[in-house]
């Protein structure tokens, strides 16, 4: 793991966006998978800023969705798709032909998993994945106990995820199932970036970096990734002794 620690969330977001922009300059048709959630918000804002300033272009990139709450789409406020559209795709004017997401409202979710798997198999691997980390160590919706050999799959959400996920909704929302890329997609990606900020993430980051590799903490598998970066603010890195 290549660990990078920044003074605060703003610097973390700025440097993450610059890293992605520099990556895309070397591969203008990069296939990117960028997580939804609170943590990437600043990164997306900076990516949009770099694009508007003419310092970066993402027009040649294809964007692959990481995960989604089952039963939701881009019209549902609080969905992953809605978040990425509003914070990145619409500001960047990304063409729909450049967006490959799960249809979490599909009648046959297993077929959706196979569709996305086939797309990545035929066009991939993913060049760069930007992921956050849950309080339980999940990546995407790969919950504790997930198989490290998994590709896309449907998952019963962990109680921690169901509870924390409520922050994305104005009213209490029934969250039971998710659909997500698998750990093998993450491990086969050419570059993986894990971002985290705040003291509340310090303990789980310590376990990911210093602890054993175990599916009880899915993100710990990144210790074995061939090209992995941790981008942390000083609070998230406070238990690493670095």
Assess whether 225 carries a catalytic annotation. no
- Report if pTM > 0.85: yes
HSE-CB for 139 with a 13 A CA cutoff: 33
Assess whether 153 carries a catalytic annotation. no
Helix (H, G, I), strand (E, B) or coil at 234: coil
Helix (H, G, I), strand (E, B) or coil at 186: helix
Q: Catalytic: which of 87, 127, 138, 142? A: 138
Q: Look over the chain and give the mean of its residue pLDDT values, rounded to a whole number.
A: 96
Q: Catalytic: which of 76, 143, 158, 188? A: 143
The tokens for 133 are 């980390």
pLDDT digits (tens, 9 = 90+) for 122-172: 998 999 999 999 999 999 999 999 999 999 999 999 999 999 899 999 889
The tokens for 178 are 């998710």
pLDDT digits (tens, 9 = 90+) for 183-223: 999 999 999 999 999 999 999 999 999 999 999 999 999 99
Assess whether 143 carries a catalytic annotation. yes
Q: Catalytic: which of 103, 136, 215, 225? A: 136
DSSP bridge pairs for 68: 179
Q: What domains appear along the chain, each with residue ranges and CATH number?
A: 2-233 (3.40.50.1360)
Assess whether 53 carries a catalytic annotation. no
């Amino acid at each position: 793991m290549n660990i990078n620690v920044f003074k605060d969330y703003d610097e973390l977001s700025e440097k993450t966006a610059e890293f992605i922009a520099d990556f895309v300059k070397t591969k203008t048709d990069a296939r990117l998978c960028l997580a939804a959630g609170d943590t990437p918000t600043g990164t997306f804002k900076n990516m949009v800023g770099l694009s508007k300033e003419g310092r970066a272009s993402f027009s040649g990139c294809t964007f692959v969705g990481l995960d989604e709450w089952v039963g939701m789409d881009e019209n549902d406020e609080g969905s992953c798709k809605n978040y990425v559209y509003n914070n990145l795709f619409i500001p960047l004017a990304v063409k729909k032909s450049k967006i490959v997401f799960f249809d979490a409202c599909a009648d046959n979710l297993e077929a959706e998993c196979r569709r996305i798997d086939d797309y990545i198999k035929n066009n991939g691997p993913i060049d760069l994945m930007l992921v956050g980390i849950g309080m339980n160590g999940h990546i995407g919706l790969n919950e504790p106990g997930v198989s490290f050999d998994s590709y896309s799959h449907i998952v019963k959400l962990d109680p921690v995820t169901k509870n924390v996920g409520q922050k994305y909704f104005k009213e209490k929302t029934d969250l039971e199932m998710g659909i997500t890329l698998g750990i093998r997609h993450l491990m086969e990606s050419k570059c993986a970036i894990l971002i985290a900020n705040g003291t509340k993430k310090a303990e789980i980051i310590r376990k990911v970096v210093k602890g054993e590799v175990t599916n009880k903490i899915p993100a710990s598998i990144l210790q074995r990734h061939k090209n992995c970066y941790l981008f942390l603010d000083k609070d998230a890195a406070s238990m690493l002794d670095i």
